[in-house]
Structure 1
């Protein structure tokens, strides 16, 4: 992608025509950049997925306040919780729970 040095608008590509070389031109101002060599236009860009980082670790959650909630994995009746606004402001907060059973440690959200 090339941008006009005069006005900042994205330049458009024009194919060679009647002895004139290919060029980039600005659709809003008279700027033109002639191209002497061939231009390779790429249309695909491969994106790399980032590694997902956990919102809370087990240690962060177990230090928080506790409530009487049943763990869906082991059925234990107590869990620590933490709330976080993960969506827009007009949506409710997301509640993250961590099971307090030492052998379980399951983390889930509501």
Structure 2
């Protein structure tokens, strides 16, 4: 919104007509402001996607506390776990597990 510097009323917009440029004008006083059509984009900036850091790092999870839970992939009975609040505060936390068997390192979660 533009306002008239003379009387303070809100300026009205008028489209270009028969070679006359578009303009703002005041309906209460003779103030007129012509609008120039010389707007140019000087440069375009490319957006670069940032790398997303994983929520859970397997190396950190392997050094977390352990519990007796069965891995769904290999059947090993020991896993490390970490608890995160991934939903609202009144919902239960999500527990992420990592199998401690050397060749497996399977990760899963329990909501």
**Structure 1 residue 104, shift from structure 2 partner:** 0.7
Contact preservation (8 Å) 2:21, 2:36: no
Q: TM-score, normalised by structure 1?
A: 0.60
Q: Which moved more, 1:51-60 or 1:63-72?
A: 51-60
Rg comparison, structure with higher value: 2
Question: Alignment RMSD, CA only?
Answer: 3.3
Corresponding residue number in structure 2 for 1:16: 15
- 2:98 corresponds to: 98
Q: Which runs of 5+ in 1 are unaligned?
A: 7-13, 24-32, 41-45
Task: Quote the residue 2:88 is aligned against.
Answer: 88
Q: CA deviation at 1:17?
A: 4.2
Q: Distance in 1 between matches of 2:35 and 2:88?
A: 47
How far is 1:38 from its partner? 5.5
The runs of at least 4 aligned residues of structure 1 exceeding 4 Å deviation read: 46-50
CA distance in 1, matches of 2:55, 2:70: 21
TM-score by length of 2: 0.59
Match of 2:64 in 1: 64
Asked whether the equivalents of residues 86 and 93 of structure 2 are also in contact (C-alpha less than 8 Å), the reply is yes
3-state SS in 2 of match to 1:52: coil
